[in-house]
Structure 1
Amino acid sequence: MGRAGGGPRGIAARAGGWSAQHRWAAVGIWVLFVLLAMVAGSAAGRVELSESDQLSGETTQAARIAKEAGIDEPAGESVLMQARDGSVKATDPAFRKAVDEVMKAVEDTGEVSAVTSPYDSKSLSRDGFSALVQFDVRGDPETAHERIEPVLDAVAGVQDRHKELRIEQIGGASMGKTFEEAFGKDFQRAEYSAVPVALGILLIAFGALVAALLPVLLAITAIMATMGLMGLASHLMPMGDSANSVMLLVGLAVGVDYCLFYLRREREERAAGRDGRTAILIAAATSGRAIVVSGVTVCVAMAGMLFTGIGEFESMGLASLIVVAVAMAGSVTVLPALLSLLGERVEKGRIPFLNRIKRGKNGGNGESRVWTRVLGGVLKRPLVSLLVATGALVAIALPAVGMKTQNFTLDQEFGDSLPIVATYDRLNEAFPGGADPAEVVVKADDINAAPVQQAIADFRERAVSSGASQGPVEVVKHDAENLAFVYVPLVGGSDQDKAEKSLTVLRDEVRPATLGKVDGLEAPITGQVAGSKDFNDQMAGAVAPVFAFVVVFAFGLMLLSFRSLTIAVTSIVLNLLSVGAAYGILTAVFQHGWGASLIGAEGVGAIISWLPLFLFVILFGLSMDYHVFVVSRIREAKLQGRGTREAITHGVVTTAGVVTSAAVIMVAVFAIFGTLSMQSMKQMGIGLAAAVLIDATVIRGVLLPAVMALLGERNWYFPKWLNWLPDLSHEEPAPPVAGRAPHRDDDGHREPVRV
C-alpha cells in the first residue's frame, strides 16, 4: 500500500487505484470486453477437436489418412439376434424369417444403407445361435445419433413380433443417443446447480444479497467472455467437448475465490474504520496482489496440460488458462470499481439468522474464533501438530502406491443401469471383439496392385491363425482414393487387457510379416482398443514433463513473489502432499472399494487413466489460491512488525473465513459432479472435493502454521547469491490497524523486520 496521498504501487495496486477513481469507465470497459469477446467468438465459430487432432500415435495417423482422402466412415450399427432359450438356431427358418424382417424394417426407414445379411457376411456365431445384421447410418456420422430413433423403433417392432428371440440394436449412433438421453440431462443439472449452490454458500458467508451476488456475477461474466475467446482460440487449437465443463468448473472456482479475497479484505478494512477509498486501495495492494500471484501460478499449472500432446487435454488446459486469466483481470479491475460505486450499499439485502462475517467485532479484523483456538493448539505444540498431520496425510496417501489406471469398459463406466451395456457384453461374448474391432487403414500407390492385394489377403489369414482374431476379417476398398479398411475383431472383446495383447500381436507380428513387406505402403491400426492403448502410452509419457514443468515454474513464481527460498520449497511440498492424499482417497474408494457402496461406485476396480494427471494440474493450481492468500497475509503482518508466531496466527485466522467459504463452495460444486452416474465423472468430482477439503483444513490450518512456526525467521531465508533475481515481492505493508503494537517479537521485545 502506498503512503498517504500517494498511489499504490504494483500492477494490482495501480489497477485497483485507477479503477476506483474511474469507476464507470472501468465497468464500461469490462462490459464491452465481455460483449466483444462473445460476439467475436460467435462470429468466428468454433473449431471442434477431431479424431486426427487427438493423439500423435497410429490412431492419429489413421485418422489423418482418412481425412486427407476425404473419407468419412459412416456410423456403423448392428442388430444382435439370439435365441433366448437356445432352442432356435440361426439357420432355422423361423430365425431366417426374423432376420429378413429386421433387414426390411431398417431399410424402410430410409435412414440406413449397406444393409448386410448375416448369411452373406458370415456374421454367425460359432455356436450357431447368434447372428448380426449390419448396416450404416446415412449422413454425417457425427450427428448419426440424432437420426437413429426411427431405426431403433423399427427394430423394436420386430422384437415385439418375435418374443422367442432377443433382437437388440447396438452401435455408435444408438449408444450415443442412449448415453445422451441418460446422462446429458444429468450433466446439465450438475452444471446449472453449481451457480445456485455457490450463491447459497456466499449468502451464508456474507449475510447480504449484494455482497453474495458480486462473486457470482464476476465468475459468470468471466465464463461468458471465455466462451467467446475459446471460439477464437479454437482456430489455433481445436476445442474438445470436455473443455466447456472443465472451464465452467475452474472459472466458477477461481472467479468466486478471487472476488471473495478482494471483497473480504475491503470489508475488513471498512470495519477497522477506514474510509471507502482507503479500504479499496489497501485491498488492491494486498489481496489484489495475492490474486495476481495466485492467478499467474494457476495459469502456469493449467499450461502444463499443453505439454501432454493429447488434444482433449490441450483444449482443457487452454480453456482453463483463459478463464483464470480473465477472472484474475476482472478481479483487479472491474471489482474495485463496483466496490467504489456500491460503497456501504454492498451490505444491502441483509439476511437475518445467517452466520455472517461480523463487522466491528474482534477489533474489526474479522478473525475466526474457531481457528483462533485451533491455531493456539497448533502453535503451542508445532512439532507434534506437524508429525500428527503429516502422518495422517501420508497414511491417507499410501493406497495410491498401488494405483491402477485404465480406460473404462462400458460396464465399468455405466454399470448395469442401461440395457445397452448388457447388449454390448452379449455381442462381445457371441462375437469376440465384434463390438470394437481393430481397424487397419491401408494406403498404397495402387490399392489394386497384385502385391498389395496379396499382402492384405495374407494379413487377413495370419490375423486369425496368430490367435489375435477369430474372424471374420472384413475388407472395404476405396479404389478412387487407393485406400482399404480392414476390420479385425480382436480376441479379448471387452476385456481391455486381453484385447490389447491381441492388438500387440497384430501390430508387432502380423503386420510386419505381411503388409510391412510392401514398399511405400502405410498401414496404421486404429479402433477403440488401439485408441485406448495409444492414449495410455502417450499419457504415461507426458507425466514426467508435465509434473516437472508445473513444479519448477510454480517454485520459481513463489520464489520471486515472496523473495523466500523457504516459502517456495514449503509451498511445493505441501501442495504435493495434498495431491497425494487425494490420490490415496481415490484409490481406496474406487479401486479397493472402501466405502464405495455409499457413493454408488461398486465394482470399478481402477482409476480412469486420464484422472491422475488432470487432478495434479487442477489441484496444484487451485491449492495455490489458498496458499498465496494465507502466506501473503502472514508476510504482511510480519512487515507490520509482528512477531513470527503472532504474524502466523493473524494471517491464518483473518483469512480463515474467506478460505473456508471458498473451500466450501469448491467442495459443494465438485461434489455435485461426484453424484453423476458416470464413474469417470464421479471419480473426478470426489477427487477434487476431497483434495480441496484437505487443503483448506489440514494443510492451511495445521501443517502450514506448524511448519512456519518451527522455521521462525528461516521462513524468510533468501540466499545472497539469488539477489540478481527480479524482486516481485510486496513493496510495503498495509498500514497497521490502530491499537497494534508493531515491532514486537513473541516475547514482547522490539524486533527488526527481516523480510
Structure 2
Amino acid sequence: MWSAHHRRTAILGWLVFVVLATVVGGATGTVTASDDEMGTGDSARATKILDDAGIDEPASELVMVGAKSPDGWRDAAADLSRALDRTGRVTALKEPLPSKDGKEALLRFQIKGKSDDAADQVQPVLDAVDRAKDAGAEHGVTVHQFGDASSEKHLNDLLADDLKKAEFTAVPLALGILLVAFGAVVAALLPVGLALTACVAAFGLLSLASHQLHLFETTFSVMFLMGLAVGVDYCLFYLRRERDERAAGHDAETALRIAAATSGRAVLVSGLTVMVAMAGMFLSGLLLFKGFAIATILVVCVAMLGSVTVLPALLAWLGDRIDAGRIPFLNRRSRKGVHASGSVAGSLLKPVLAKPAFFAVAATALLLALAAPALGMKTEQLGLEKQFGSDAPLSVSFREITAEFPGGPEPALVVAKADDIRSAPARDALRELTRRAGKGAELTVHARQNVAEIAVPLPGSGTGAEAKKALAELRADVRDVRAGTGSAHGPALTAYVGGDLAESEDFTDQLGEGIVPVFLFIAAVTFLLMLVSFRSVVVAVTSIALNLLSVGAAYGVMTAVFQHGWGASLIGSEKVGAIENWMPLFVLVVLFGLSMDYHVFVVSRIREARDRGLGNADAIREGITRTAGAVTGAAVIMVAVFAVFGMLSMQDMQQMGVGLGVAVLLDATVVRMVLLPSLMSLLGERNWHTPRYLRWLPQVSHDEPAPAARPASPTWQHV
C-alpha cells in the first residue's frame, strides 16, 4: 500500500534500480568457469595439476580426408595441409595417418594459442576445410572435421542463436496469451514488461555475482526461462485478483488492498519458497548447480519484489486505464472468460467432489503410469555429437572419424606429478603406467614442471560401454601404481585420470551423491514454509506428495521421449539413449519451486473461503473456481515458454523444456483440478487441524482485509 500511495517514488525507484543493475553488471562483465572448476573427482584433480603447472594443452583438431580408392586422398590431403599452414593458426601438423583400408587419412593438428581462445581463432581453419570440401566434392573426395575448437565454436554459436530465438519467440507468445486473457493491450503489456525488466536487472546482478561464483554458459538461458515464467505468473495472479475485485463492485482502493493482502501475500510465500528451494542446489557440490541456484534466486527475488512494489504503484496510477487499448472481440471474450473459466472449473469439480476416492485413485494412477518409464532412466553427460543431433554436420563428422579411427577424438588422459619426475622411481612408475595403458598410449614428460601426461585411446567412439569399461580398468591400474610409489620407494608419484569420459563419469557420480541431500533440504524447507503459512501438517505433507508425483511424471515423459525416442520426432528431436546427467536434479528443484506458485495460490484461496465460515467442500469449490482463470492463464504461459525451449537445437535445452512443460501442464490440470480437491475432500477437517504442539506457530490470515478509511492523500483521491 505504501507503493500505491507513493507510486511516483516506487516506479522511478524501480526504473533506477533496473538501469543501475544493468549498467554496473555490463561494466564489470561476466566471468565464466574454467574446466577444472566445473569438474569434480579425480578428473578435476588431473586438470588442476596441469593448471597449477601452467601446462595448457592446445586445442586439437582432426580432419579426415577420404576417397573411393586407396591413396586417392593424397593430393587432396597435401593441398589441405598447405592451406591449413597458410592460415597461420595451425601448429603441430602431423603427417597424414592412413586408415586400415587405405581409403582415408587423418590430419592431426593443434590450434595456436591458449585453449580457452581456440574457438575464437578457429574460423580461418574452418574456412580452409570448407573450401577443401567444395573442391573435393567434384572429385569424389570427402572431408570431415571434428575437434576441441571447432565443436566449441559451434556450441557457442548455437547457444547464442538459441537464446536469441527463445527471447524473440517466448516474449511475443506470452504477450499474445495475455492479450487473449485480458482483452486489453495495457493489461497484457504490464506482466510482460515487469518480467522483462526483472530479467534485465537480474542479468546485471548475476554478472556482478559471477566474479565470486563463476558461471556456466547456459546459466543466463536458465535465468531468462525462470524469470519470464515467474515474473509473468506473479503479476498475473496479482492483476487477476485486482480485476476480479473491481468486477465484484469494489472501488480501486479496496480492490487493490484486497489483492495486496491475498494474492500479494501468496506471491511472497511462493517466491520465498522458490528461492529457498533453489538454494538446495548449493548442496550438490557442483559449480554448475551453484550457478543455477544464484541465477534463479536472483531473478525470482527481483520479480517477486517488483510484483509487490512497482506493480501496485502502476495499478494505482493506471486505475481504469488498465483496460486501455481494448480489443473488442478479445475483450468481450476475456470478460466472459473470467466467469466461464470458473463455471467450467465448477462443472469439472462436481464429479470430483461427488466421488473423491475414485478420482484420487484415478489421478494418482495416471501420474504413476506416466512416471513408470523413469524407473529405467539412464543419465550421462551427452557428448556434443548427441547435443547437436545426428544430422548435424559436426555429428556426422564425429561418426565418420571414429568409425575409421577408433578411440575417439578425446582419449583418456593420465596426469602424473612427482617431486622429481626424472627420478628412477618416478620413471619406473610412468613406464609401468604406459605399459598398462596398452597399445597406442603416448607419454609426454614436462620435466621442468615435474608433470607427465599419458594419452590413452579408448575403444569405439570413446563414449560407449566398452570405453567406460576400459576407463574403469585404467583407473584401477593408476590406483595400483600410485599406491606403490610411496615415500619408502622414493619421491611420491601422484596420478589421476582425466579426459572427457572421465569428467562425465565423475560428474554423474557426484550428482548421485548430491541429489539426496538436495532433495531432503527442499522437502524440509517446503514442509516448514507450508506449515508456517497454513498451520497444518496435512497441507504441508500433501504439498510434498503432490510435487513428487508431478516430478515423477516429468521424469517418465523425459525418459520416454529422449531415452526411448517415443514421439521425439514430433518436437523435432530424436532418441539419444540417455538423459543429460544434470537434468533430473535441475528439474526436481525447479518443479518443487514452480509448483508452489499454483499450490500456494489455490490453497490460500481455499483457506480464505474456509476462514469465512464455509464448509470444507464449499471452500474447495470456491477456491478452485475462483483461481481457475489465473491458474489456467499462468500455466498456459509457463507451458508456452517451456515449449519454446523444447523446440531449440540443443538436446539439453529440449529435455529441459519438455520436462518442465509437461510437469507444469500436469500440475495445473490433473494435480490442481483433480487430485488436490479430491484429496482435500477425503481428508475433510483434518486439512486444517493444528496439533497442540504446533499452536505456537504464528497465525497467518488468509481472509480479505477489513475495509479501511480512505486516506486523505490528494494523490489517492485523484485515483
- Distance in 2, Cα, partners of 1:583 & 1:187: 24
Matched, 1:116 2:91: no
1:330 maps to which residue? 306
Residue number among 404, 407, 412 corresponding to 2:381 in the alignment: 407
Contact 2:4 2:313 in 1 (8 A): yes
2:713 maps to which residue? none
Contact 2:349 2:674 in 1 (8 A): yes
1:268 maps to which residue? 244
**Secondary structure of the structure 2 residue equivalent to 1:46:** coil
**Secondary structure of the structure 2 residue equivalent to 1:116:** coil
- Distance in 2, Cα, partners of 1:389 & 1:401: 19
Gaps of at least 5 residues in structure 2 are 708-719
Matched, 1:35 2:19: yes
User: Aligned residues: percent identity?
Assistant: 52
Give matches, 1:515-526, under 5 Å: 517=485, 519-526=491-498
Shift of 1:180: 4.5
2:474 maps to which residue? 506
1:475 maps to which residue? 443
Q: Which has the higher mean CA deviation after the structures are superposed, 304-313 or 55-64?
A: 55-64
Give matches, 1:362-441, under 5 Å: 368-441=342-415
**Secondary structure of the structure 1 residue equivalent to 2:63:** strand
- Distance in 2, Cα, partners of 1:728 & 1:81: 75
Question: 1:491 and 1:186, CA in 2 relative to 1: closer, same or farther beyond 3 A?
Answer: same
1:343 maps to which residue? 319
Residue number among 180, 192, 195 corresponding to 1:219 in the alignment: 195
**Count of equivalent residues:** 701
- Distance in 2, Cα, partners of 1:613 & 1:352: 46
1:575 maps to which residue? 547
Give matches, 1:638-649, under 5 Å: 638-649=610-621
**Secondary structure of the structure 2 residue equivalent to 1:601:** coil
**Secondary structure of the structure 2 residue equivalent to 1:699:** helix
- Distance in 2, Cα, partners of 1:547 & 1:571: 14
Residue number among 652, 658, 663 corresponding to 2:630 in the alignment: 658
**In the alignment, residue 110 of structure 1 is paired with which amino acid?**
G
2:700 maps to which residue? 729
Question: 1:74 and 1:515, CA in 2 relative to 1: closer, same or farther beyond 3 A?
Answer: farther
Matched, 1:61 2:65: no
Give matches, 1:130-149, under 5 Å: 130-149=104-123
**Secondary structure of the structure 2 residue equivalent to 1:485:** strand
**Secondary structure of the structure 1 residue equivalent to 2:329:** coil
Q: Which has the higher mean CA deviation after the structures are superposed, 100-109 or 316-325?
A: 100-109
Shift of 1:427: 2.0
**In the alignment, residue 716 of structure 1 is paired with which amino acid?**
W
Residue number among 490, 495, 510 corresponding to 1:538 in the alignment: 510
1:79 maps to which residue? 63
Question: 1:709 and 1:356, CA in 2 relative to 1: closer, same or farther beyond 3 A?
Answer: farther
Shift of 1:353: 1.3
Deviations 1:204-263, CA, capped at 9 Å, x for gaps: 101111111111111111111111111121122111111101100110111001001111
Deviations 1:31-86, CA, capped at 9 Å, x for gaps: 2221222222223332211112113312221222222223332111122233x33x
Give matches, 1:226-265, under 5 Å: 226-265=202-241
Matched, 1:102 2:80: yes
Q: Which has the higher mean CA deviation after the structures are superposed, 446-455 or 226-235?
A: 446-455
**In the alignment, residue 689 of structure 1 is paired with which amino acid?**
G
**Secondary structure of the structure 1 residue equivalent to 2:328:** coil
Shift of 1:305: 1.4
Contact 2:433 2:477 in 1 (8 A): no
2:286 maps to which residue? 310
Question: 1:600 and 1:43, CA in 2 relative to 1: closer, same or farther beyond 3 A?
Answer: closer
- Distance in 2, Cα, partners of 1:377 & 1:356: 30
1:208 maps to which residue? 184
2:714 maps to which residue? none
1:749 maps to which residue? none
**In the alignment, residue 89 of structure 2 is paired with which amino acid?**
E
Matched, 1:196 2:175: no
**Secondary structure of the structure 2 residue equivalent to 1:354:** helix
**Secondary structure of the structure 2 residue equivalent to 1:492:** coil
- Distance in 2, Cα, partners of 1:459 & 1:547: 41
Question: 1:647 and 1:32, CA in 2 relative to 1: closer, same or farther beyond 3 A?
Answer: same
**Secondary structure of the structure 1 residue equivalent to 2:453:** strand
Residue number among 461, 466, 471 corresponding to 2:435 in the alignment: 461
**In the alignment, residue 423 of structure 1 is paired with which amino acid?**
S
1:12 maps to which residue? none
Residue number among 1, 9, 21 corresponding to 1:25 in the alignment: 9
1:88 maps to which residue? 70
1:13 maps to which residue? none
Question: 1:500 and 1:181, CA in 2 relative to 1: closer, same or farther beyond 3 A?
Answer: same
- Distance in 2, Cα, partners of 1:613 & 1:731: 33
Give matches, 1:282-293, under 5 Å: 282-293=258-269
Shift of 1:101: 3.2
Shift of 1:98: 4.5
Question: 1:490 and 1:615, CA in 2 relative to 1: closer, same or farther beyond 3 A?
Answer: same
Give matches, 1:623-642, under 5 Å: 623-642=595-614
Matched, 1:488 2:470: no
Residue number among 13, 19, 28 corresponding to 1:44 in the alignment: 28
Contact 1:416 1:422 in 2 (8 A): yes
- Distance in 1, Cα, partners of 2:459 & 2:405: 9
Structure 2 length-normalised TM: 0.93
1:319 maps to which residue? 295
Gaps of at least 5 residues in structure 1 are 1-16, 465-469, 737-755
Shift of 1:183: 6.0
Structure 1 length-normalised TM: 0.88
**In the alignment, residue 24 of structure 2 is paired with which amino acid?**
A
- Distance in 2, Cα, partners of 1:20 & 1:545: 42
Shift of 1:164: 5.1
Question: 1:54 and 1:404, CA in 2 relative to 1: closer, same or farther beyond 3 A?
Answer: same
**In the alignment, residue 116 of structure 1 is paired with which amino acid?**
K
Question: 1:482 and 1:715, CA in 2 relative to 1: closer, same or farther beyond 3 A?
Answer: same
Question: 1:515 and 1:420, CA in 2 relative to 1: closer, same or farther beyond 3 A?
Answer: farther
Deviations 1:725-751, CA, capped at 9 Å, x for gaps: x41622654459xxxxxxxxxxxxxxx
Shift of 1:192: 2.1
1:185 maps to which residue? 161
Deviations 1:384-436, CA, capped at 9 Å, x for gaps: 22122222222222222222222334453333322322221222223222411
Shift of 1:96: 5.0
- Distance in 1, Cα, partners of 2:598 & 2:126: 52
Matched, 1:564 2:536: yes
Question: 1:342 and 1:653, CA in 2 relative to 1: closer, same or farther beyond 3 A?
Answer: same
**Secondary structure of the structure 2 residue equivalent to 1:517:** coil
- Distance in 2, Cα, partners of 1:245 & 1:117: 42
Deviations 1:72-125, CA, capped at 9 Å, x for gaps: 32111122233x33x314xxxx6555444333221111111222224xxxx454
**Secondary structure of the structure 2 residue equivalent to 1:545:** helix
2:710 maps to which residue? none
Contact 1:590 1:605 in 2 (8 A): yes
Question: 1:728 and 1:299, CA in 2 relative to 1: closer, same or farther beyond 3 A?
Answer: farther
Contact 1:459 1:511 in 2 (8 A): no
